[in-house]
A and B are shown apart, each in its own frame.
Chain A
Amino acid sequence: MRIALILLGVAAALIAPFFVYPVLLMTILCFVVFATSFNLLLGYVGLLCFGQAMFLGLSAYVTGHILKTTDLSLEIAILAGALVSAVLGAFVGFVAVRRSGIQFAMITFAFAQFVYFLLLRSEFTGGENGMQGIPRSELFGIFDVSDTLTFYYVILGMTALAILLAYRVIHSPYGEILKAIRDNEPRVESLGFKPERFKILAMSISAGIAGFAGGMKAAVYGFATLTDVSWTVSGEVILMTLLGGLGTLTGPMVGAGIVIVMNDELAQFGEWALIAQGIILILVILFFRRGVVGEAGAFFRRRQARAKDAPAGKPREAE
């Protein structure tokens, strides 16, 4: 069942550019990776980072700068951007991670605003105008990816890699400790672990993946702007994750797709896009706690359980 769904998703992604505008699809993929990075923190460690955009935006500028000023190949530039974000993530984590809940969110928000300000004032970013004319260097220094359709498949491959990385982390010995910290941090400490070290590493990995998304985005559009560092993007990724379903790998991916398509459809109505986002967020929080994917999963599990119980006719063990 699960494998069938994954194959279906992959098949859909492969044929999608023949039916949908590829740049829209690539935008979705960038945000799929971005939302995955955010979900790693909120869904698996319980950390609400309200400044995730700083990792996206910073890396977009770093990647763009490298592509503009050096001959390095595309993947090196994107990985360099991701690395810079991962370092920033470790630093922010080091400062913020001993706080929890709203305090953690506020500290990460403050950092993000600071990064926004620095990038606004930096010379290399082009300030308010953003960084224009980022070239798309060859992949591995040999493959020309200037063709949009070709580039779509490159971005799809990168997205798959990022998600595999997230999957690996979540299902690693380390990921098991992260989930334990999310469930009961004092207990984890009482068992001899130092939770903050695990959280700092999680911040760094998450920031690195967000940075990877930022680098992809810079290469897709050929420009980087302050929007990518702004608090509205930090908020949007929260919406994507909650809408799709927290703590599931596929949830944020679906959420990213929904929000990007919705923004695209509502763009013509200006401010209404924001209002629609707000209303959807409220509806999700009130009625679909588990998000689209979470609710669907729960629905199928309930049906399965009923199908299993019915023929045996025995009630579930009551304890």
Chain B
Amino acid sequence: MANTTGPDYALEARGIGKQFGSFWAVKDVHLRIPRGSIHALIGPNGAGKTTCFNLLTKTLQPSTGQIILNGEDISGLRTSDVAKRGMVRSFQISAIFADMTVLENVRVALQSAHGRAFRFLSPISSIRGLDTRARELLADVGLADAETAKAADLSYGKKRALEIATTLALDPQVMLLDEPTAGMGHEDIEPITQLIRKVSAGRTIVIVEHNLSVVSTLSDRITVLQAGQVLMEGTYPEVSADERVIAAYMGGVEDAH
């Protein structure tokens, strides 16, 4: 599976595109994400970043192109199968199970790998064994004391942390994070950045992020999208010095949330 001749890419997009009606939200996007790296996807609002994530995880069917995960073409798979192969995303709008407790939220994800989710006659105590791991994950994201709270009652920052814990529960090799710090106050951004740094060990991460200081702290390389297309790719110093990026980005970043 691993590419032995060149660098080892965890994820590749080969000319992916998505057409809504006559409008191309994403067009001919190529990505190559080296295994173990943190790759940022930036660009003004409406540039097609979330759509890219939807294509990569097969939430949307690409109009063109191929997606290669660990050397395997996953273009024809569905989202759940992509997740089973080790690529899991978080959502721009916190995707939590609002009416369930914090612990239950994580346990749902743990059940995915556990494979007993169809046991409709077993008591819930039959999966209590998962609680230990769920608590570890919650402790990792700083939610150790919130396990019995209803997810809907968490603060915004804690909801994002919960979503990351839920994503981590699948122990994904590739994690796609869609604006993990969006709408957060400064006091929340720093811990989340630390958290992403921590969980990046042994994983490949693609992150959509508007906060450029977070981008510069975390990412090895950056792809800049504009109007659905790749404007450029490079390291933070390269990208931030580029005239086109400055021009494109200054127009959109302030009203990005």
Contacts and interface: CB of A to CB of B under 8 A. Distances in A.
* A and B interact: yes
Interface of A: 168-169, 171-177, 179-180, 182-184, 186-194, 197-198, 201, 205, 319
A189 B120 contact: no
A194 B117 contact: no
Contacts of B79: 189-190
Interface stretch (B4-12, B100-108, B193-201, B236-244): B100-108
Contacts of B3: none
Interface string B59-82: 100000000000000000011110
Contacts of B133: none
Interface in B74-132: 78-81, 83-84, 88-89, 91, 95-100, 104, 107-109, 111-114, 116-124, 126-127
27 contacts: A172-B119, A173-B117, A173-B124, A174-B120, A176-B107, A176-B111, A176-B124, A177-B111, A179-B99, A180-B97, A183-B97, A184-B96, A184-B98, A189-B80, A190-B83, A190-B89, A190-B91, A190-B95, A191-B108, A191-B109, A191-B170, A192-B80, A192-B81, A192-B170, A193-B117, A198-B117, A201-B120
Contacts of B121: 168-169, 172
B57 interface: yes
Given A176-B107, A188-B108, A168 B120 contact: yes
B108 A176 contact: yes
Nearest to B151: A183
Interface of B: 57, 59, 78-81, 83-84, 88-89, 91, 95-100, 104, 107-109, 111-114, 116-124, 126-127, 154-155, 158, 166, 169-170
B123 A168 contact: yes
B12 to A, nearest CB: 20
A196 B39 CA distance: 33
Contacts of A192: 80-81, 83-84, 88, 112-113, 170
A171 B124 contact: yes
A173 B36 CA distance: 34
A38 B57 CA distance: 34
Given A168-B120, A198-B117, A177 B84 contact: no
A281 to B, nearest CB: 24
A94 to B, nearest CB: 16
B57 A190 contact: yes
A188 B112 CA distance: 9
Contacts of A177: 108, 111, 117
B118 A201 contact: yes
A183 B124 contact: no
Contacts of A186: 59, 91, 95
A169 B117 CA distance: 11
Contact of B117 (A168, A174, A182): A174
Contacts of A194: 78, 80
Contact of B112 (A171, A172, A191): A191
A176 B131 CA distance: 14
A179 B111 CA distance: 13
Contacts of B104: 176, 179
Contacts of A172: 119-124
B10 to A, nearest CB: 18
A177 B108 CA distance: 6
Contacts of A187: 91, 95-97
Given A168-B121, A174-B117, A177-B111, 8 more contacts: A172-B120, A173-B111, A173-B117, A189-B78, A191-B108, A192-B88, A193-B117, A205-B120
Contacts of A189: 78-80, 83
Which residue, A189, A197, A198, A205, has most C-beta atoms of chain B within 10 A?
A189
Contacts of B111: 173, 176-177
Contacts of A179: 97, 99-100, 104
Contact of A174 (B80, B109, B119): B119
B166 A191 contact: yes
A175 B109 contact: no
A98 B114 CA distance: 25
Nearest to A196: B80
